[in-house]
Structure 1
Amino acid sequence: MYSNRQLAYAPTPYIPRSTLSATINLDEEVKLSSTSTERDLYDSLAEIYSIIITLDALEKGYLKDSISEADYTETCSRLLKQYKSNLADETVARAFGDLETFKREWDMECPRATERLRVGIPATVEQGPSHKPAQQGDSADATLVINATENFITLLDAIRIGLVEKDTLHPLLVEIIQAVNKVTDIDFESKGKIVQWLITLNQMRAAEKLDDDQAREFQFDMDSAYHGFKATLKKD
């Protein structure tokens, strides 16, 4: 009954061909780069990837109090420095693009690392240490007050003589926020502006400079912050 039914197709038997062979050696390591320049580029991008992952874990650890403030500050500062050093190479910077593009390409989330890289300084520097300074107001340690005051004056002098490059202003601004945090934890007038300008400068390339309008605004904000800081010293 079934022997007379014809098949809808004629199956073709598989006949292995002795001439087929693999085009690559499956036991051989696949190289992503063919030149030392390409290898250096991929090494730098891989390092940036690991820095972002590590920084995100560090931020989580700091929020959970599983790392001391001193260790957090030291490690975070080192990671931020390594991140910037890698991107100082123009070839690496071009291949990297920007942080959001890089994250999308490699399917990364890392929101805490993203925020820390945007700010460009450790949370302990941005917000100040969690413990209060030992002394405040008129009784504040004279050496710390003098140091903070000198940092403000140095920055304002730099602006007045036209030194408005990112690589000049950013380090001075970091020194100011660190110095004032050692003196007082009071959120004085325009203190938030210091952090805002740190973020703005952090997004700029080292050789970039503020334009005339930005420089005037920056000087005004830093003058206000300086007077706000001095006002805290007169409070009990």
Structure 2
Amino acid sequence: MYGNRQLAYAPTPYIPRSTLSATINLDEEVKLSTTSAERDLYDSLAEIYSIVITLDALEKAYLKDSISEGDYTETCSRLLKQYKSNLANETVAREFGDLETFKREWDMECPRATERLRVGIPATVEQGPSHKPSQQGDSGTDATLVVNATENFITLLDAIRIGLVEKDTLHPLLVEIIQAANKVTDKEFESKGKIVQWLITLNQMRAAEKLTDDQAREFQFDMEQAYYGFKGTLKKD
């Protein structure tokens, strides 16, 4: 019945060809980049990824007392420095975007690393060491540490007064202040929290970025209050 019925199309016969070959070698490594610039970019992004993962594990270890404070501080400081160094490259920073975007893209859940990168300093610097600061018998806190902390406060305030309000100037000075103050006293003094808040603010800025006039005035006021609070704590001791 259907033997003489014409097909609506002319099927193309399959003719095997011995000359056909696969265009992709499944055993060959697939290259993500074709230029040295692309390779450097991907290497930097991969390093940032590993830094975030490692930092999160480090924070967990510190919270569990699985690592000494000294080792934690040294390792955390190094990871934070490496993170910032990678993002100092404009091409890498542009491709990276921001931490939240990067985490979403690579499906990362690293809350402890996220917080540490936001603050920008190790927990031992932010909160102070768990042990008591050095004391000298009944004479009170080591005078050398007090002098050092006081000088750090004065240096920062002088920098603000003469208009040195760039992030790369203020951030290191502020880190030195919190470190020096924590060596003197483990007590919370008035406006100490402001130091940490400004550390976070400055940490989010680019190196050459400056505080606005309003920010500079507010920063100076907060640091003066922190200085007075620090000196007030010493009088109570």
Output the TM-score relative to the length of structure 1: 0.92
Alpha-carbon distance change, 234 to 138 in structure 1, aligned in 2, over 3 angstroms: farther
Aligned length: 236
Cα drift, residue 28 of structure 1: 1.3
Calculate the aligned-residue CA RMSD, in Å: 3.2
| 1:58/1:76 contact within 8 Å kept | yes
Q: Which moved more, 1:146-155 or 1:133-142?
A: 133-142
How far, CA to CA, are the matches of 1:113 and 1:201 in structure 2? 18
How far, CA to CA, are the matches of 2:74 and 2:13 in structure 1? 69
Alpha-carbon distance change, 12 to 110 in structure 1, aligned in 2, over 3 angstroms: farther
Cα drift, residue 138 of structure 1: 8.7
Alpha-carbon distance change, 114 to 6 in structure 1, aligned in 2, over 3 angstroms: farther
Alpha-carbon distance change, 4 to 59 in structure 1, aligned in 2, over 3 angstroms: farther
SS of residue paired to 2:236: coil
Cα drift, residue 166 of structure 1: 0.2
Alpha-carbon distance change, 9 to 152 in structure 1, aligned in 2, over 3 angstroms: same
Alpha-carbon distance change, 36 to 6 in structure 1, aligned in 2, over 3 angstroms: closer
Aligned partner of 2:205 in structure 1 is 204
| 1:137/1:234 contact within 8 Å kept | no
Cα drift, residue 150 of structure 1: 0.2
| 1:190/1:224 contact within 8 Å kept | yes
How far does the alpha carbon of each residue in 1:53-102 deviate from its partner, in whole angstroms, 9 at most, with x for none?
A: 00000000000000000000000000000000000000000010000000
Q: Which moved more, 1:172-181 or 1:1-10?
A: 1-10
Alpha-carbon distance change, 147 to 192 in structure 1, aligned in 2, over 3 angstroms: same
How far does the alpha carbon of each residue in 1:126-176 deviate from its partner, in whole angstroms, 9 at most, with x for none?
A: 000011213399941010000000000000000000000000000000000
Aligned partner of 2:69 in structure 1 is 69
Alpha-carbon distance change, 161 to 23 in structure 1, aligned in 2, over 3 angstroms: same
Q: Which moved more, 1:200-209 or 1:10-19?
A: 10-19
Where does structure 2 lack aligned partners over 5 or more consecutive residues? none
Cα drift, residue 12 of structure 1: 13
Cα drift, residue 206 of structure 1: 0.2
Alpha-carbon distance change, 210 to 12 in structure 1, aligned in 2, over 3 angstroms: same
How far does the alpha carbon of each residue in 1:88-119 deviate from its partner, in whole angstroms, 9 at most, with x for none?
A: 00000001000000000000011000000000
Alpha-carbon distance change, 2 to 166 in structure 1, aligned in 2, over 3 angstroms: same
